[in-house]
Amino acid sequence: MRSTLQTVLFIGACLVADVLGDWRCLGAGGKCQYDLSPSAMSRRGPEGLCNGPSARRCCLPAGREENAERLTNAEALQILRANGMTWSSTGGCNDRNVRSCTSFTGMRRATLVGLVAFKHASKCNIVVTGGTETGHSSGEYSHSKGYKVDIRYYGVNDCVLNFVRRNFNQISNRSDGAMQWRDGSRNTYARESNHWDITYY
């Protein structure tokens, strides 16, 4: 059983201020802090999510360790805002049961973490136009199952298009003819007429 002292030490370690630039950790719902106490080690986040020396770890609240975790709409909007991204929908709503809405309810945390990473790597303006709402095609790695996100496509000079061309591998077109690129983690970026359909695994 963890002692009260260890719990206090963990909280103490997590009170050290985080710094800007720790977006991987922030995207995962955590905070970067110096890992000062042995008890903090047991709940530290994965390595490589924070800037600075290796003692800086991503402290995740209990239960937030898994990227498979499902987000609430409010949590997702907070992560988007914190990382300079916006969302849009024709209906101006977030209800996942309404086609014209853009909902984040039930999105896998890993999906949003992937988008946050892409945002910071590409430095593109990202407007999310599709999430877990009804009306998309079904399947294992689908919108409704929380694996996909749509972002706006701006045409020939699109920042995302330039970035994926330079940095990702183009793969064969999707069955509907959409051009596709794959990043180093096998996430897929498919270009549709007015948006990118992105799958994060």
* Interface with Zn ion (CB under 5 A): 130, 150, 197
CB atoms within 10 A of CB 92: 9
Provide the minimum distance between the beta carbon of 143 and Zn ion in the complex, in angstroms, as a whole number.
Answer: 6
Provide the minimum distance between the beta carbon of 148 and Zn ion in the complex, in angstroms, as a whole number.
Answer: 5
Nearest alpha carbon to residue 29 among 96, 76, 73: 76
Provide the minimum distance between the beta carbon of 125 and Zn ion in the complex, in angstroms, as a whole number.
Answer: 18
d(CA 170, CA 98): 33
Of the two residues 60 and 128, which places its CB atom closer to Zn ion in the complex? Answer: 128
Residue nearest to Zn ion (CB): 197
User: What is the SS3 assignment for 25-92?
Assistant: HHHCCCEEEECCCHHHHCCECCCCCCCCCCCEEEECCCCCCCCCCECCHHHHHHHHHHCCCEECCCCC
Of the two residues 133 and 197, which places its CB atom closer to Zn ion in the complex? Answer: 197
Of the two residues 29 and 130, which places its CB atom closer to Zn ion in the complex? Answer: 130
Provide the minimum distance between the beta carbon of 81 and Zn ion in the complex, in angstroms, as a whole number.
Answer: 22
Of the two residues 50 and 101, which places its CB atom closer to Zn ion in the complex? Answer: 101
Q: Which residue has the tokens 């996942």?
A: 96
